[in-house]
Each structure stands twice: as C-alpha cells, then as structure tokens.
Amino acid sequence: MNLRMQYARPRNLEQATALMDALGTGTMVIAGGQELMPHLNYGRISPSVFLDVSGLSELQGVEETAEGVSIGALTVHRQIQTDPIISKSLPLLAYAAKQIGGGRQVHNQGTIGGNIVAMHPLYDIIPSLLALGAQVQIAGPEAIEIIPLSTLLTGTSYQLGAKELLTRIIVPPMDSDH
C-alpha cells in the first residue's frame, strides 16, 4: 500500500484535465467513493494521487437540451430517482436508480458517473442507459468528445483513458412515435 498518497482538488474541468495530464497514470479520480473506498481499504489499489472532482460544477445537474436530457456524472442515484426532468422524460432510468442496492449511503453518495466507470455487473443503471441510446461526454487534455455509451463499455474502439474524465451522460429524446 502506498502510504504517501497526495490529494488534489481542481476548481474547474479545465484544471482537472490538466492535472490528470500532468500527474499521469498513478492518479485516481474520486467523487462519491462508493466503489473506490472498499478497494483502497483492502489494499487492492494504491494510487499515488487522489483527484477529487466532487466540487466540479460542470459535472453536476440535470438539464433538458436540444440533444436530450444531459445528466452530470456527479449526479447521485437519489437525484436520478426524484428529479422531475428524469421522472418525466426518462422514467425507465428513474426506476432503475431505485433498484440499486446498497442502502441509503449508496443512493445518497454513489454517482451515475461512478456507476458507469466502475462497470460493475450488478448495477442496474447501465442496461437502462444502453436501452435509451445514451451517449457519454468525455473530457481529456486535448478535447471534449461525445461517444455512444456502448462504445465505451465494449472497448472495441475506445475505452476511458487514464487522462480522461467522464463528465456527462446524454440521453437523446425519444422519437415522437414512442
């Protein structure tokens, strides 16, 4: 276990991606910590730097845009369950968030971004997002791009790199026929 871990808390997304680029592969992003902390406690991981993105406003909130419903990666499961935009436009997602186990702590601290990045097979949100045709916004040191969630998960042509950060989930509007 690395006993000399450092801690960095960027003020904005630009600073976060610059720090990830400068600090390199020993950097571990932390927000809710629901997936990360057990691995740390059992000595399964030993990052040299924790990059705390929990305060980044660019990664928070739910809004309706022309592209669909945009959900910040830091949005906690409880908010997904109760948000009026999600309840109206994406009831499947609200329902899936209610099915996540782990109790109150997971619902109040666990984030949709952490859920996706951890790729844990028991999380109910990922299949719902795939069924809804979700895309993810990824920020890196050079650019911000939007890719299908399915591409990120399959890893056939793209995986989240060590210097990249999941920032938002975008669920396109449903066809008027549905």
Same domain membership, residue 46 and residue 125: no
The CATH number of residue 35's host domain is: 3.30.43.10
Name the β-bridge partners of 72.
Answer: 168
Distance in angstroms (rounded) separating the CA atoms of residues 78 and 165: 22
pLDDT digits (tens, 9 = 90+) for 122-148: 667 899 999 999 999 999 988 999 999
Number of domains in the chain: 2
Tens digit of pLDDT for each residue in 19-29? 999 988 888 88
Residue 90: predicted pLDDT:
96
Q: Which helix (H) or strand (E) holds 82?
A: helix 77-82
Same domain, 38 and 73: no
Question: How many other C-beta atoms can be found within 10 angstroms of the C-beta atom of residue 36?
Answer: 19
* Low-confidence stretches of the chain (pLDDT beneath 70): 1-3, 34, 120-123, 155-158, 176-178
- Cα dist from 10 to 18, 52, 55, 74, 140, whole Å: 9, 7, 8, 15, 14
Pair (93, 26) in one structural domain: no
For residue 76, what are its two tokens? Answer: 């906690």
Show the domain range for 36. 6-52
Please answer whether residues 137 and 168 qualify as being in contact, where contact means their C-beta atoms are separated by less than 8 angstroms.
yes
